[in-house]
Chain A
Amino acid sequence: MNTPKLTAVQGYALVLLRILIGWHFLYEGIIKAYNPSWTSKGYLLSASILKPFFAWLAGDSMISAIDYLNIIGLVAVGISLLIGIKVRWGCIAGMLLLLMYYLAHPPFPGLPQGPAEGSYWVVNKNLIEMAALFVIYLFPLTTIFGLENLFARKKANTTIN
């Protein structure tokens, strides 16, 4: 792994970012997983662009699978980032999920914004979190903090021996 030359503080800052995003994903996934009446149907049906695509996802034949995949995705990405395993895959999956959320309700001028706690134009928190995941993708830093540390060390030891 091409660990870049970072100062210790820079490294810890990036690890902190990874933990915070992992925390966010995992919590969103768990809240949905433990609420039997939760469904993404309303969110998908109210999409402001690419309506046929989102309506297809929200259709009767698809919606349970979509809800299930969303929960699994959120939890898996959260665990991956928090414990530091397969982080790059976690980042890709997380970015894909965020891209879907972003595209369903993009903060483009002229489109209805729906319920939001702030004001956004083109850039919103989904997009920023997506960019942050891209940074993590480039600097997973599992050797500083993460389970992969263990495998990396084992692998290294094996080579030495």
Chain B
Amino acid sequence: MANDTNNFKRWNRRDILKALGGIPFVGAVWYSGASLAGSAIREKQFLLETLNIKASPPPASGPMSGKPLRIGIIGFGIRGEQLCRALGFASTGWLKDMSDNLAKNPKDTRLTDFKAQENLNVKLAAICDVFDQRAENALKSFNSGDNKIKRFRTHTELINSGEVDAVIIATPDHWHAPISIEALNAGIHVYVEKPMTHNIAETYLLRDTVLKNPKTVFAVGHQHRQTQSFLTAQDVISKNILGHVSLVQTNTNRNDDNGAWQYDIAESASPKTIDWDLFLGNAPREPFNLEHFFRWRKWWAYGSGLSGDLMTHDYDRINCILKMGIPKTVTASGGIYTHRDGRNVPDVMHVNMEFPDFSTGGSQVAGKEKGMTFVYSATLGNQFDRGTVLMGHDGSMDLGNRITVYADPRSTKYAELIKEQRIEAGVPIYQYDPAVNGTDAVTSATAKYFANKGLLWTYRDGKRVDSTFLHLREWLSCIRNGGTPSCSIKEGFEEAISAHMGGLAYKLGRRIEWDAVEQKIIAQPGEDLDAVLLSNT
């Protein structure tokens, strides 16, 4: 005790400073860091509360229990194979390729993901393809102890066989509507690839058929409807975060032969192995032509060009969020500039759709803002990512799997917050990334860098989920448990008419108008719009 007292007596102020001088530094740094982090969190919270965007994934579809559904596949080409995989049936060739890939690259998760996919409780009962090699491939791959698959020469035989409950149609575009109509009239459920139809007349016919057969479930294959972020994007619009959206920009940029529909031609293909007449169907007569058979997307007679083939994805994605319906007028331009290989559909194309009476809401004086243009711009000769952007007076929304919202520097709604520097131009005010399971306002450059590289990707229940799988699951759930698919006849009708207006505007070089009262595309006297749309010129 005496020693202790002595010790303290020996201490002068200088010693105490030397011993304890670091403590105020700790206090100052701690306080400063904590208060800065606290205020950043409060600012973020304030923005999130101000915007009040509800981030939610789409509702899960119902149970897959009960008797297995018997599915017939009509068309087993590239897309047909993908759809079968989404149903849980992979061809032997694909399985071999994937296991070879996995041996070469252990990080390739495609095979593991496929094996981990939920069982949809279906049987692949029937296959129909005009090319023997493809049909035989399906028979060879899918005939197993618990799945018996039978080949039918024509879709009519398949539909009326009594051996299927539902069909998946993945044929060239000119067969979409005729097969759908036949199946629906026979009481068979239909999942048809996009575009829903190939011409205008059959669009009405298909709509009437679906409405006449309310017990059959009809779905169009726009799997984008399953994108996790779309409900959140809808909420952004309904809360008027962007103000009046006057322009929507969508694009396709591809720069490879496969992306330009220059698919491989099978060696075994010949008039003996392909039912050419059945392939042609209602298309103009043409002598047997391998290029037409394997690369049908390059001709108006069987495909629908950029407007029907790829713009429909973008149109439907935006229609899913804005529900703007069919445009009042459409103009288009473009040409064959990147693949001058004999095709007659354009490979560079721009479509402008006008919605003069449409508004997402506004923040300025009533009556000042109304009307919107939807722009689709595509090239098959460059793959620069231009992004999908919805542009409003108060903000812009960059739409993908992630949603990023930026305030506009000249916004009326956010003028005060911008002035107070609580919102900075160029820095997102809101970001939703379903992959990181949460929301984030005011992101940093670093966070953006990581997110853009796709590193913050996550999986549902630890598994990567394919949107086509979710879309098919939704259709199967509607068959089993009732309900209407997210992309059914109303959405399909709007998609098909809008795409046909784009094709017509390109071909005729004039503005194409929709008569909303009469529900028809306005033609000039004596003009046959379907003949124009389908012509190979």
Q: Which A residues are closer than 8 A to B by beta carbons?
A: 19, 22-23, 26-27, 29-31, 33-37, 41-43, 45-46, 78-79, 82-84, 114-115, 143-147, 149-150, 153-154, 157-158, 161
Q: 1/0 per residue B12-56: CB within 8 Å of A?
A: 000100111111011001101110111011000000000000000
User: Can you name 19 A-B residue pairings with CB atoms under 8 Å?
Assistant: A19-B25, A23-B25, A26-B33, A27-B29, A27-B32, A34-B34, A34-B38, A36-B41, A37-B438, A43-B450, A45-B450, A46-B450, A83-B20, A83-B22, A84-B22, A147-B19, A147-B20, A150-B20, A161-B6
- Chain A positions within 8 Å of B445 at CB level: 115
Is the CB–CB distance between B29 and A78 below 8 Å?
Answer: yes
> Which chain B residues border A31 with CB–CB below 8 Å?
33, 36-37
A80 and B6 CA atoms in complex are apart in Å by 28
A19 touches B22 (CB 8 A): yes
The 4 A-B pairs of least Cβ separation, nearest first, read A30-B33, A34-B37, A83-B22, A42-B450
Does more than half of chain B's interface fall in helix, strand or loop, or is it mixed? helix
Residues in B with CB closer than 8 Å to A46 are 450, 453, 455
Residues of A contacting B29 with CB < 8 Å?
Answer: 23, 26-27, 30, 78, 82
Q: Is the CB of A157 within 8 A of B6?
A: yes
Expressed in whole angstroms, the minimum distance between the Cβ of A144 and any Cβ of chain B is 7
Contact between B33 and A145 (Cβ–Cβ < 8 Å)?
no
CB distance from B438 to the nearest CB of A (A): 7
Does B438 contact A79, Cβ atoms closer than 8 Å?
no
Taking the closest CB of chain B, its distance from the CB of A52, in whole angstroms, is 10
Does residue B7 face the partner (Cβ distance < 8 Å to A)? yes
Distance to closest chain B CB from A54 (angstroms)? 11
Sample of 13 more A-B contacts, CB < 8 Å, known A35-B41, A46-B455, A147-B20: A26-B33, A27-B29, A42-B451, A42-B455, A79-B26, A82-B26, A82-B29, A83-B22, A144-B18, A149-B15, A157-B3, A157-B6, A161-B6
Q: Is B446 an interface residue (CB 8 A)?
A: yes
State A27–B31 Cα separation when bound (angstroms): 9
Task: Tell me whether B272 is interfacial, beta carbon within 8 Å.
Answer: no
Question: Per a CB cutoff under 8 Å, which of A115, A145, A154 touches B18?
Answer: A145
Query: Is A115 touching B25 in the complex (CB atoms < 8 A)?
Result: no
- How many angstroms between the C-alpha atoms of A6 and B83 in the bound complex? 77
A145 to chain B, nearest CB (A): 6
Q: Mark B45-74, 1 if CB is under 8 A from A, else 0.
A: 000000000000000000000000000000
Partner of A35, one of B7, B20, B37: B37
A151 to B: closest C-beta gap in Å: 9
CA distance A69 to B25 in the complex (A): 23
Which of A78, A82, A145, A157 interacts with B7 by CB under 8 Å? A157
The main secondary structure of chain A at its interface with chain B is helix
The answer on a CB contact under 8 Å between A82 and B33 is: no
A83 and B26 contact, Cβ closer than 8 Å, known pairs A31-B36, A145-B21, A150-B19: yes
Q: Are A42 and B32 in contact (CB under 8 A)?
A: no
Select from chain B the residue with minimum beta-carbon distance to A114: B449
Q: Would you give the shortest CB distance from B156 to chain A, in whole angstroms?
A: 52
Q: Choose among B18, B41, B453, B456 the residue that contacts A149 (Cβ–Cβ < 8 A).
A: B18
| Distance (whole angstroms) from the CB of A40 to the closest CB of chain B | 11
Residues of B within 8 A of A144 (CB): 18
CA of A79 to CA of B23, assembled, Å: 8
B23 touching A83, Cβ below 8 Å: yes
* B368 CB–A CB distance under 8 Å: no
Q: Bound complex: CA of A132 vs CA of B19, how far in Å?
A: 23
Chain A, Cβ-Cβ closest to B44: A37
**Which residues in B have their C-beta under 8 angstroms from that of A145?**
18, 21-22
- Shortest Cβ distance from B21 into A: residue: A145
B440 within 8 A of A: yes
Contact call A27/B33, Cβ cutoff below 8 A: yes
Residues of B within 8 A of A43 (CB): 450
Flag if A34 contacts B33 (CB, 8 Å). Answer: yes
Chain A nearest CB: distance from B455 CB in Å? 5
Cβ-defined partner of B440 (8 Å) among A23, A37, A154 = A37
Q: In the complex, are the beta carbons of B7 and A154 less than 8 A apart?
A: yes
Known: A23-B29, A42-B455. A30 touches B34 (CB 8 A): yes
Q: How far is the CB of A73 from chain B (nearest CB, A)?
A: 15
| Min CB–CB distance B49 → chain A (angstroms) | 16
Q: Is B10 an interface residue (CB 8 A)?
A: yes
CA distance A143 to B19 in the complex (A): 8
A42 to B449, CA, bound (A): 10
For residue B517, CB closer than 8 A to chain A, the reply is no
Q: For A115, what are the chain B residues with a Cβ–Cβ distance below 8 Å?
A: 445-446, 449
**B19 and A146 form a contact (CB under 8 A):** yes
Q: Which residue on B lies nearest to A147, using beta carbons?
A: B19
What separation, in Å, do the CA atoms of A46 and B447 have in the docked complex?
A: 12
Bound: A103/B30 CA distance, A: 28
Q: Find out whether the CB atom of A153 lies under 8 angstroms from the CB atom of B7.
A: yes
The complex places the Cα of A16 from the Cα of B15 at a distance, in Å, of: 18
The digit string for B472-510, where 1 denotes a CB below 8 A from any CB of A, is 000000000000000000000000000000000000000
Q: How far is the CB of A143 from chain B (nearest CB, A)?
A: 8
- For A146, what are the chain B residues with a Cβ–Cβ distance below 8 Å? 18-19, 22
Chain B residues whose C-beta falls within 8 Å of the C-beta of A150 in the assembled complex: 19-20
How long is the Cα–Cα vector from A29 to B374 in the complex, in angstroms?
Answer: 48
Chain B residues whose CB sits within 8 angstroms of the CB of A157 once the complex forms: 3, 6-7, 10
Alpha-carbon separation in the docked complex, A114 to B452 (Å): 12
Q: Which residue of A lies closest to B444 (CB)?
A: A115
